Amino acid sequence: MGTTSLWGGRFRGAPDPALTAFSRSDPSHLRLVPYDVAGSCAHARELHRAGILDGDELERMLATLAEIDGDIAAGREATIASDEDIHTFVERLLMARLGALGGKLRAGRSRNDQAANDLKLYLRDEARTLSAGVLEIVDALVAQGERHVETAAPGFTHLQAAQPIAFGHQLLAHAQALSRDLDRFLDWDRRSARSPLGAAALAGSAIALRPDLSAAELGYDGPCENSIDAVGSRDHVAEFLFVTAMIGVDLSRLCEEIIYWCSQAVSWAKLDDSFATGSSIMPQKKNPDIAELTRGRSARLIGSLNAMMVALKGLPFAYNRDLIEDKRATFEAVDTLHLVLPAMAGLVSTLRFDEARMAEAATQGFTLATEMADWLARRGVPFSSAHEITGKAVRYCEDRGMTLEALSREDFTEIDPALEPAVAEHLSVAAALAARSAFGGTAPSAVREQLSRLRDRLGAPRAFAASHEAAR
């Protein structure tokens, strides 16, 4: 089969092999072939509207492009050394099957708008696929949170026991963060729903004059407003990578807590055998490898975002070959999350928690001190004084090796006259949780309300993720 070049007429010599090797696209770009073919079909219809293809030629072109797409997907066609990129690959096959007719497809377009379009279509698909994966983790957190609405545990600040909380509240904190990542994909897609086709190299096309129609055919809301912006911008790529990096960071924080909960020193949680590994030397070990690997992979996601931002920062505003880095960065991020998300969903859904051990820890470290200070404040004591009195009570307990809830009537009187015996009724985990029933609080009633609202909010991301399958 012959070779095809999309340029070269003005050159007197062949390109040096070093240039060819450096310029050739990475094999990973082959995942964009279906999007390149879809864009080519939309452009073929543009050429028909422009009178460059007649009706019979259009039908032959579309049928052949569909055959090529299927043959590449099935492995019946492969790239050769002279294929500079997927655009060259597809056009070579098209011309081999249609002859001169295949060469007509290049009229009125450029690899610049093709490349921008291919990646944008791919990312819009992946935003939906990745959303489905994040939803599985959120659903696992919601299910675990619902099981532990009444489970008491210590909440932490500075990794120091702070106040009692419902453990479901802690789990739902992670679900809330990930739900915002889902919202970010939705918001990103709204801004990214503009087609670059018709921008050609940078000035627009004198042949493809209805980019609005090709945009609608490809599922966009419309064409880009500015042809230079259409081919030269990659802020939609950087923003996509920010969302993936934020997902990585949010998952890394969850992983850090899971590792802590599963440590022998804490022993709040146990890993399911199917989502843990062992040691090659220590037979007793059960390691949280998924959590650790995910925590590590977040560095890759942050790195992909960094790489894209640095590649963009010094470019003049039009197409530059530097922009090919957009694919390496996005493929790395997408491939990383395709491994991470199902593993994390399984890990979270199979965790088993020791409710008794968490409840026992809920008052350790004087976590009920705030209840004493709040009680004093409600009795009219200025909070600065209430804080001081409660601090004295904690020191009193430390000196005697006792807890706040063990203080007697005589102890209260000795610490400070403002501490009346009635304060004892508030020095319990149940009382501490019930007191925080306001919107967003940790009281079981508030956590149940939070669960209900969260389920409602997930409706839009769920529909967004499902739209990927509906479009296929």
User: pLDDT tens, 64-91?
Assistant: 999 999 999 999 999 998 899 999 999 9
In a domain, 8, yes or no: no
* pLDDT at 25 (0 to 100): 79
Give dist(CA 86, CA 67) in Å, integer: 16
Mark whether 119 and 102 lie in a shared domain.
no
- Is the full-model pTM beyond 0.75? yes
In what helix (H) or strand (E) does residue 91 lie, and over which residues does it extend?
A: helix 86-98
Mark whether 174 and 161 lie in a shared domain.
yes
Q: Assess whether 158 carries a catalytic annotation.
A: yes
Q: What is the CATH number of the domain that holds 99?
A: 1.10.275.10
* pLDDT at 20 (0 to 100): 73
In a domain, 82, yes or no: yes
Mark whether 295 and 413 lie in a shared domain.
no
* pLDDT at 285 (0 to 100): 85
Number of domains in the chain: 3
Mark whether 300 and 425 lie in a shared domain.
no
Mark whether 243 and 338 lie in a shared domain.
yes
In a domain, 1, yes or no: no
Q: What is the CATH number of the domain that holds 429?
A: 1.10.40.30
In a domain, 309, yes or no: yes
The stretch 204-211 carries a mean pLDDT of 96
Mark whether 125 and 269 lie in a shared domain.
yes
Q: Assess whether 408 carries a catalytic annotation.
A: no
* pLDDT at 4 (0 to 100): 63
Mark whether 64 and 84 lie in a shared domain.
yes
Please identify which of the residues 23, 267, 279, 408 carries the catalytic annotation. 279
Q: For the segment 6-17, what is each residue's pLDDT rounded down to a tens digit?
A: 645 666 677 777
Q: For the segment 135-173, what is each residue's pLDDT rounded down to a tens digit?
A: 999 999 999 999 999 999 999 999 999 999 999 999 999
Using the predicted structure, report yes or no on whether residue 472 has a pLDDT greater than 50: no
Give dist(CA 325, CA 163) in Å, integer: 48
* pLDDT at 8 (0 to 100): 59
Three-class DSSP category at 289: helix
Q: For the segment 423-433, what is each residue's pLDDT rounded down to a tens digit?
A: 999 999 999 99
Q: For the segment 273-332, what is each residue's pLDDT rounded down to a tens digit?
A: 999 888 888 888 889 999 999 999 999 999 999 999 999 999 999 999 999 999 999 999
Last residue of a domain, one of 107, 134, 157: 107
The stretch 375-394 carries a mean pLDDT of 97
* pLDDT at 261 (0 to 100): 97
Last residue of a domain, one of 107, 138, 153: 107
Q: For the segment 318-372, what is each residue's pLDDT rounded down to a tens digit?
A: 999 999 999 999 999 999 999 999 999 999 999 999 999 999 999 999 999 999 9
* pLDDT at 74 (0 to 100): 97
Burial 271-285 (b: 16+ CB within 10 A, else e): beeebbeeeeeeeee
The stretch 39-56 carries a mean pLDDT of 98
Identify the domain containing residue 54 by its residue range.
17-107
How much is the CA Rg of the chain, to the nearest whole Å?
30
Mark whether 400 and 300 lie in a shared domain.
no
Q: Give the C-alpha distances (Å, rounded to integers) separating 159 from 47, 287, 396.
A: 64, 22, 24
In a domain, 152, yes or no: yes
Counting other chains too, the contacts that 421-424 makes at CB distance below 8 Å and 24 or more residues apart are 422/375, 423/372, 423/375, 423/376
Mean pLDDT of the chain: 94
